């Protein structure tokens, strides 16, 4: 497993664009959390509405736990060329909302981008916690990650590598 080193340069611009390309080449699905943040724009959510795979209400997601009576909403989308183009238009940095970055202008309803391949989380973010964990599916993916951003930190396996199918059956 690799983690984002938040003390290193921000993953944005060309590096983030390349990271999106890599994740879309590898993934079947991606997700956003929708925390219902007031005074935000839902344009991205509207643009992606035709590509929804599953809408999940859950009390546990990648590095999130809440009380069962207060679940949050996760929207899972198909990863394809159309959704890739939409994300490239709206998403320009790894941590979509970054309160520690004065140039962060994220105003969409979504946060916490995650990607899935073969049912497994391969990249998960929690923006407000400055957190990203990557579970490379193979050495080629891992090597390309380092080529895109050489500041990843090796870490022991996390208990947070979720399986999408667990949420499709239990939380439907």
Assess whether pLDDT exceeds 50 at residue 171. Answer: no
Q: What is the pLDDT of residues 84-124, one digit of tens each?
A: 999 999 888 888 755 444 444 545 668 889 999 999 999 99
**Predicted pLDDT at 101:** 47
**Predicted pLDDT at 172:** 43
**Predicted pLDDT at 39:** 66
Helix (H, G, I), strand (E, B) or coil at 45: helix
Structure confidence at residue 38 as a pLDDT band (50, 70, 90):
low
Assess whether pLDDT exceeds 60 at residue 167. Answer: yes
Dihedral over alpha carbons 91, 105, 75, 37 (to 10 degrees): 180
Q: Provide the mean pLDDT of the chain.
A: 87
**Predicted pLDDT at 10:** 85
CB-based contacts of 127: which residues, under 8 Å, 6+ apart?
Answer: 95, 96, 97, 98, 106, 111, 112
Structure confidence at residue 28 as a pLDDT band (50, 70, 90):
very high
Assess whether pLDDT exceeds 60 at residue 148. Answer: yes
Percent of the chain with pLDDT over 70: 88
User: Which whole number is the average pLDDT over 130-151?
Assistant: 95
**Predicted pLDDT at 143:** 97
Helix (H, G, I), strand (E, B) or coil at 53: strand
User: Which whole number is the average pLDDT over 7-23?
Assistant: 92
Assess whether pLDDT exceeds 80 at residue 80. Answer: yes
For residues 99-136, one letter each, b for 16 or more C-beta atoms within 10 angstroms of the residue's C-beta and e for the rest, the string is eeeeebebebbbbbbbbbbeeebbbbbbbeebbbbbbb
Helix (H, G, I), strand (E, B) or coil at 142: helix
| Cα distances (Å, whole numbers) of residue 12 to 20, 66, 91, 171 | 10, 30, 9, 33
Residue in the block written with tokens 């590095």: 63
CA–CA dist 140, 136 (Å, integer)? 9
**114 in Cβ contact with 133 (< 8 Å):** no
């Amino acid at each position: 497993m690799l983690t984002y080193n938040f003390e290193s340069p921000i993953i944005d611009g060309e590096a983030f664009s390349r990271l999106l390309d890599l994740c879309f080449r590898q993934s079947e699905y991606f997700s956003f959390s929708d925390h219902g943040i007031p005074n935000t724009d839902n344009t991205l959510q509207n643009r992606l509405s035709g590509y929804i795979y599953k809408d999940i209400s859950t009390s546990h997601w990648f590095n999130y736990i809440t009380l069962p009576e207060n679940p949050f909403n996760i929207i899972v989308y198909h990863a394809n060329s159309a959704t890739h183009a939409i994300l490239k238009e709206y998403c320009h940095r790894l941590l979509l909302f970054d309160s520690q970055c004065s140039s962060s202008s994220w105003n969409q309803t979504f946060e916490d981008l995650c990607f899935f391949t073969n049912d497994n989380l391969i990249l998960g973010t929690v923006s407000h916690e400055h957190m990203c964990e990557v579970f490379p599916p193979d050495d080629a993916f891992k090597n390309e990650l380092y080529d895109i951003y050489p500041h990843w930190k090796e870490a022991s396996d996390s208990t947070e590598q979720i399986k999408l199918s667990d949420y499709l059956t239990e939380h439907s």
